[in-house]
């Protein structure tokens, strides 16, 4: 399972609890879309996750910015994931960012608002914030491989699934049904 979080805004620790904490501990890969704030918070995530891919955000202090890129891409179960904290130009800017990286999924943060948007070519995913929702619902995203692509869900720390989505196999290249 791939778990996606963002906008922790922590001085210490991860701010994870409930289903979000369990999901991070269970995940094969955790993606964090920025705004840890301190190196202690980044270190806490590295301790909690078996594999962490992260980018820095606008609120991250220099000790975090020195350790993380502003953008990165990785492959999860055949899908290319491009990640950034924020991108000028809203959804169009994120879509362009993803197309430039030949991505299937673009992960971003910054707004603290959980949202999934399907464009003609890719899926835009903002998990919201698990620790500092700023008027939005707290949450994270979970993605798992299925025979015809990736199934995803936006989940609250209490375990409530707020939204489900699917990234079709056509978007992630060859799928081995075995």
- Structural domain boundaries enclosing 18: 2-170
State the CATH number of the domain containing residue 112: 3.60.21.10
**Is 178 part of any domain?**
no
**Is 118 part of any domain?**
yes
Number of domains making up the chain: 1
**Is 176 part of any domain?**
no
Which tokens in the block code for residue 176?
């081995």
pTM exceeds 0.85: yes
**Is 175 part of any domain?**
no
**Is 11 part of any domain?**
yes
**Is 29 part of any domain?**
yes
**Is 79 part of any domain?**
yes
Which tokens in the block code for residue 6?
């963002």
Q: pLDDT digit of tens for each residue in the chain (178 aa)?
A: 999 999 999 999 999 999 999 999 999 999 999 999 999 999 999 999 999 999 999 999 999 999 999 999 999 998 999 999 998 888 999 999 999 999 999 999 999 999 999 998 899 999 999 999 999 999 999 999 998 889 999 999 999 999 999 987 655 554 333 3
- What does the alpha-carbon distance between residue 98 and residue 94 come to, in Å, rounded to a whole number? 6
Strands (E), the chain: 2-5, 29-32, 52-54, 71-76, 79-84, 105-107, 115-118, 123-126, 140-146, 149-155, 161-168
């Amino acid at each position: 399972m791939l778990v996606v979080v963002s906008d922790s805004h922590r001085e210490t620790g991860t701010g994870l609890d409930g289903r979000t904490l369990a999901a991070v501990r269970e995940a094969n890969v955790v993606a964090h879309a920025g705004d840890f704030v301190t190196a202690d918070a980044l270190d806490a995530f590295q301790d909690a996750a078996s594999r962490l891919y992260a980018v820095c955000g606008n609120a991250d202090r220099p000790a975090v910015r020195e350790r993380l890129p502003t953008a990165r891409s990785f492959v999860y179960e055949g899908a290319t994931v491009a990640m950034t904290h924020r991108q000028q130009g809203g959804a169009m800017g994120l879509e362009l960012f993803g197309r430039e990286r030949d991505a299937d999924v673009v992960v971003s943060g910054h707004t603290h608002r959980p949202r999934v948007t399907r464009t003609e070519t890719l899926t835009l995913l903002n998990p919201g914030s698990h620790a500092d929702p700023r008027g939005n619902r707290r949450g994270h995203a979970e993605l798992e491989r299925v025979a015809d692509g990736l199934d995803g869900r936006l989940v609250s720390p209490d375990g409530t699934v707020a939204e489900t989505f699917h990234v079709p196999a056509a978007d992630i290249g060859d799928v081995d049904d075995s």
